[in-house]
Amino acid sequence: MSCDFSEKTMMFKVQAEDISQTHDILHQVYQALKEKGYNPINQLVGYLLSGDPAYITSHGNARSLIRRLERDELLEELVKNYLEKS
């Protein structure tokens, strides 16, 4: 019987310090988008879906900050917070 690797569940883990950094950066980017008059949620969703940093303003160094993070780190932080608060 052959082993089909597509049936196995992959484990993914982010270090605690990475989560704290992700949280801080996400808040800074949110604030910069808000200050510039953008809808921060829409802009962040656009970035997360496309990977295009043009969705993030360069105001307050937000574009550089968001590019320090992997999109999977951002998604993990968002899903975690959503589930913990619901």
User: Considering its fold, how many domains does the chain have in total?
Assistant: 1
**pLDDT recorded at residue 59:** 97
What is the radius of gyration, based on Cα positions, of the chain?
16
The answer to the question of residue 41 being in a domain is yes
Gap between the Cα atoms of 68 and 70, Å rounded: 7
- Per DSSP, the three-state class of 65 is helix
Q: State the 10-residue block means of pLDDT for the chain, 86 residues long.
A: 63 62 91 98 96 97 95 87 91
- Residue-number span of the structural domain to which 38 is assigned: 15-85
Handedness of CA 22, 25, 31, 32 (dihedral sign): negative
**pLDDT recorded at residue 19:** 64
pTM of the model: 0.74
The answer to the question of residue 63 being in a domain is yes
